[in-house]
Structure 1
Amino acid sequence: MTHAIPVPLPSALVDHHAIDLERKYSDGWGMKVDDVATTPSGEMYTVSKIHRHTYGVDDDEADPARAHFGYSLISKIAPDGTPLATAVSGQSDLARQDTTFGGPTTGLGEDLWWARGLCVLPDGALAATGADDHTHLLTPDLTAVTAHHGMPHWREDDGPRDPFASWISTTPAGRLLCTTGEYGLYNYGDLLDNILAITDEPLTPVSKPTLRALACLEADPVKHTEADLRPGVLFAGEPVGMAHRPRPSLTEQLAKLDPTSRPGDWYNARLGRPAVVREDLFVVPVFGHIYRSGNRGGPFAFVLVTDQGEFTGQLGGMDRYLDSPFTGHALEIAADPARERIYHLNRYGLFAWTGSGDLKQRLDLEDKRFKPLRHFTLLDCTPDGDLVLTHRTQHLLLRIPCPDTLDHVGHAVENALRAYAKERTDLKKQWKPVTWHWVDNTAPVHRL
């Protein structure tokens, strides 16, 4: 199988903006791979952000070789790593929008610039999700946007209020596990993820399913009114909002579960992207307040919640300080529902749990065999159970084949890293990347 897969930049975009690929990111430009989603047949979709700020150039600069820019790129990649297509959508906030590669009036515009997650839906369509419960549906070939749902970022802002979800994952039976936001969380005026919910009907270009609320991060958003009710998010048959919501909250239950918990430990907590452990069980990341001065040793938990909203505990075996995910903000978790396995990677280790939350493996990244994993971010678990990681500076995906048992995770990682190093050398000869940027001129580019 292919272990090393480039995440490409379309040559048309590089040429249009005369991007200097040798320029350092500290000089005002950069690329970041945010997420990956894999189809049952093995194709991969990636979502990336690329931006440039040219110092000394006005916001209304017309010359594309000098102008500021920002784009979201969604790429479709064959199982062997061959680029199949790229969809490009332009940023429309603050800077002048160069509409050559799409813009606010031609497609996804500003909304997809904030896209952070991908999900392949049961019918094969692609859902791109982001903050403010923005959800865009794209055709599998990335040629068109077929639907869009979203909310204004600020409570007082005008605009359509037709939200769906900020994160989506599919269950084995095709239901959608989602998170949605609420205004007033910790007295913030913007929309923050707060509700874990599930659907029983499909999401299609012409039909948005009702979400059934399972749990909430914080039970008392401040100053909720009837205007903040979510008619598409129901709890006990009524719209979620104000005092009507699942209780007790996740933070309240975590405080009761930990006898060493201090008052305020979970104040200003954040909800991470949940993952499907099996059809009726999900793992939900919860992170304590993130301080700019440093967070190692701060509270975090990976909570287990059923499809009936029952809190059944949390993943065990992690030390709050020695295994802190806050170092480098490695906050992602992935699950393999076919085998009921859960994985997490941070700067200190690769962790693997059973579906019941028992830690079976911790690969110490101080071990030279696994040390290269420090440069990767965990993004996904494929339908076949393979782990998909992205190298943060080399813009390559690393696919680690699913081991027979969790006892063999270390062996699988060793073999994958060895194969990755060899394949990366071959790819450099084939692609001739410039400072680890892989430029493709073969796949069609769709301007959304």
Structure 2
Amino acid sequence: MKLLPAVVPTALFDQHGLDREKHEWGYDVLHAAAAPDGGTYALAVLWRHESSFRPDPTGPSFRHQLIVRYAPDGTPLTIAPLREPRSDDTATAAHPHGHRLAVLRDGTPVLTTRNGGTYVLSPELDEVRTAWPIASYATWSDRDPDADPFAASIAVTPNGRLLCATGEYGVQQWGGVMLNLVSVSGPDAVLAPGRKPELRALACLVDEIREQKPTDLVFPHVRHRGEPVFGGNRPLPSLVEALDELTGTADDLHRHRDGFLHYPAALGDDLFVVPVYGRTFRSGSRGQQFSFALLDDTGAVRGRLGGLDLRADSPFTGQDYTVVGDPYRGRAFHLNRYGLYAWTADGELRARLSLDDKPFKPLRHFALHGCSPDGELLLGHRKQHLLMRVPVPDELSALPAAVESAFAGLARARNALKKRHAPVDRAWADDTTPVRHL
């Protein structure tokens, strides 16, 4: 087990006059990804919102995105504050909710945004090598005329294919870009200046497309039958229709329709898992329909990850929607407020760690971010700003013992970090790691 602190440059606290012992600021680890060399990249945000309700506001609002690079042993190597570049050479401090990291086979880190903006970075985090931007809040009334997005998420398969989630304008009654398409590139795909790979659409969440205009086509590199996905040219049936038929819930209140797509994960070069969730309700959505669909290279739904109860294992509690894949070993994992689950590529549930059991209760405080090429789960603590890499045994039935062993060493590893970084109120302020502004 390795424990990594989500460090923040001390200079940022000094710049904004932040008192680390007061809760006048926030810090969240949004996502993390493992590199082929054993290193790690983490995406975090340091923020403060100005409030008229505070009797003595300490300063204006701010938001800093930070990407931290770690050595294989967990030592922070670089902290890179990022302001997303725009196609007009300006920069924006866009809200990073929904932003994700991926690492290509050659070690290149890539940042993707929820609407499809994609930023290829150098491994050392000293430059943005290329950018395909789109406004973070691109709606019908706030269009980005220079939008040139690529993908909202990227998962890399063993032979270098890029499994992507991409959006569309003009879906249902949604006013902006809605995540609707699952697509894949060819092997050995390259993301570089002037080299945007073509993506082949495998599936769409819904096919309820109102009249699309030429200006709606901002993802022309996503293609079906050799042409851009647009209007009626899209893979059918939709995921909603296929899953409602598979589960026999097409006429039920608790069905997949009116729901949403979450980021797909790779189980191999030609097998993928796509999380699809039914409609959410203000009164609570526990018990609502959801499916972790198994999708093959032809776009056919080959079943689901099995063994889950709609209520007892509901990801809607806490909104834990992420499923991660280990494409080198054909395994999938999911963590929510009720358990940690592990499947083989055929959809068989091989391990379920109940978070009601004492040894696994600490998992309630963690979010699942990914799986490393070496087969380690990458977990992020929701409050203590720590990342944890937990080795997964070859036999998934041994996963409970491996997780229990990792948590047995957690306190000792955390105390060692405290001696090295001297955190204040769980803020891992750092004045030794080099800072490189992107």
Alpha-carbon shift at residue 90 of structure 1 (Å):
4.2
Which residue number corresponds to residue 95 of structure 1?
A: none
Which residue number corresponds to residue 113 of structure 2?
A: 130
Which residue number corresponds to residue 280 of structure 2?
A: 290
Stretch moving more, 215-224 or 275-284 = 215-224
Which residue number corresponds to residue 233 of structure 1?
A: 222
Q: Tell me how far apart the structure 1 counterparts of residues 78 and 123 of structure 2 sit (CA, whole Å).
A: 10
Alpha-carbon shift at residue 195 of structure 1 (Å):
0.4
Alpha-carbon shift at residue 249 of structure 1 (Å):
0.4
Could you tell me which runs of 5 or more consecutive residues in structure 2 were left unpaired when the two chains were aligned: none
Amino acid at match of 1:208: K
What secondary structure, in the 3-state scheme, does the structure 1 residue paired with 2:14 have? helix
Which residue number corresponds to residue 238 of structure 2?
A: 249
Indicate if the aligned counterparts of 1:135 and 1:164 stay in contact, CA closer than 8 A: yes
Which residue number corresponds to residue 18 of structure 1?
A: 17
Indicate if the aligned counterparts of 2:110 and 2:118 stay in contact, CA closer than 8 A: yes
Q: Tell me how far apart the structure 1 counterparts of residues 98 and 437 of structure 2 sit (CA, whole Å).
A: 16
Amino acid at match of 2:10: S
Which residue number corresponds to residue 94 of structure 1?
A: none
Q: Tell me how far apart the structure 2 counterparts of residues 312 and 104 of structure 1 sit (CA, whole Å).
A: 40
Alpha-carbon shift at residue 159 of structure 1 (Å):
2.1
Indicate if the aligned counterparts of 2:202 and 2:297 stay in contact, CA closer than 8 A: yes
Indicate if the aligned counterparts of 2:68 and 2:79 stay in contact, CA closer than 8 A: yes
Q: Tell me how far apart the structure 1 counterparts of residues 144 and 3 of structure 2 sit (CA, whole Å).
A: 45
Which residue number corresponds to residue 176 of structure 1?
A: 162
Alpha-carbon shift at residue 260 of structure 1 (Å):
4.2
Report the TM-score, using the length of structure 2 for normalisation.
0.93
Amino acid at match of 1:170: V
Indicate if the aligned counterparts of 1:186 and 1:222 stay in contact, CA closer than 8 A: yes
What secondary structure, in the 3-state scheme, does the structure 2 residue paired with 1:370 have? helix
- RMSD of aligned residue pairs (Cα, Å): 2.2
Q: Tell me how far apart the structure 1 counterparts of residues 263 and 41 of structure 2 sit (CA, whole Å).
A: 18
Alpha-carbon shift at residue 121 of structure 1 (Å):
1.6
Which residue number corresponds to residue 73 of structure 1?
A: 66
Alpha-carbon shift at residue 108 of structure 1 (Å):
5.0
Amino acid at match of 2:354: D
Alpha-carbon shift at residue 339 of structure 1 (Å):
1.2
Q: Tell me how far apart the structure 1 counterparts of residues 166 and 377 of structure 2 sit (CA, whole Å).
A: 26
Q: Tell me how far apart the structure 1 counterparts of residues 107 and 193 of structure 2 sit (CA, whole Å).
A: 12
Alpha-carbon shift at residue 83 of structure 1 (Å):
0.9
What secondary structure, in the 3-state scheme, does the structure 1 residue paired with 2:353 have? strand
Match of 1:48 among 44, 48, 56: 44
What secondary structure, in the 3-state scheme, does the structure 1 residue paired with 2:432 have? coil
Which residue number corresponds to residue 97 of structure 1?
A: none
Change (3 A) 1:386 1:315: same
Q: Which runs of 4+ in 1 moved over 4 A?
A: 102-108
What secondary structure, in the 3-state scheme, does the structure 2 residue paired with 1:255 have? helix
Alpha-carbon shift at residue 32 of structure 1 (Å):
1.1
Which residue number corresponds to residue 151 of structure 2?
A: 165
Q: Does 1:155 align with 2:140?
A: yes
Alpha-carbon shift at residue 10 of structure 1 (Å):
1.0
Stretch moving more, 226-235 or 273-282 = 226-235
What secondary structure, in the 3-state scheme, does the structure 2 residue paired with 1:131 have? coil
What secondary structure, in the 3-state scheme, does the structure 1 residue paired with 2:273 have? strand
Q: Tell me how far apart the structure 2 counterparts of residues 224 and 106 of structure 1 sit (CA, whole Å).
A: 29
Which residue number corresponds to residue 274 of structure 1?
A: 264
Alpha-carbon shift at residue 106 of structure 1 (Å):
7.0
Change (3 A) 1:366 1:73: same
Alpha-carbon shift at residue 107 of structure 1 (Å):
6.6
Q: Tell me how far apart the structure 1 counterparts of residues 363 and 411 of structure 2 sit (CA, whole Å).
A: 12
Match of 2:127 among 144, 147, 152: 144
Change (3 A) 1:401 1:129: same
Match of 2:190 among 202, 211, 234: 202
Report the TM-score, using the length of structure 1 for normalisation.
0.91
Stretch moving more, 146-155 or 212-221 = 146-155
Alpha-carbon shift at residue 141 of structure 1 (Å):
0.8
Q: 1:162-197 CA distances to partner (integer Å, 9 max, x unpaired)?
A: 110000111100110001101122211110110000
Q: Does 1:370 align with 2:360?
A: yes
Amino acid at match of 1:336: D
Q: Tell me how far apart the structure 1 counterparts of residues 60 and 152 of structure 2 sit (CA, whole Å).
A: 31
Q: Tell me how far apart the structure 1 counterparts of residues 407 and 276 of structure 2 sit (CA, whole Å).
A: 30
Amino acid at match of 2:285: N
Indicate if the aligned counterparts of 2:10 and 2:429 stay in contact, CA closer than 8 A: yes
Which residue number corresponds to residue 413 of structure 1?
A: 403
What secondary structure, in the 3-state scheme, does the structure 1 residue paired with 2:244 have? helix
Change (3 A) 1:195 1:104: closer
Change (3 A) 1:350 1:114: closer
Change (3 A) 1:348 1:261: farther
Stretch moving more, 172-181 or 428-437 = 428-437
Alpha-carbon shift at residue 315 of structure 1 (Å):
0.6
Q: State percent identity of aligned pairs.
A: 42
Q: Tell me how far apart the structure 2 counterparts of residues 341 and 210 of structure 1 sit (CA, whole Å).
A: 27
Between Structure 1 and Structure 2, how many residues are aligned?
Answer: 429
Amino acid at match of 1:278: G
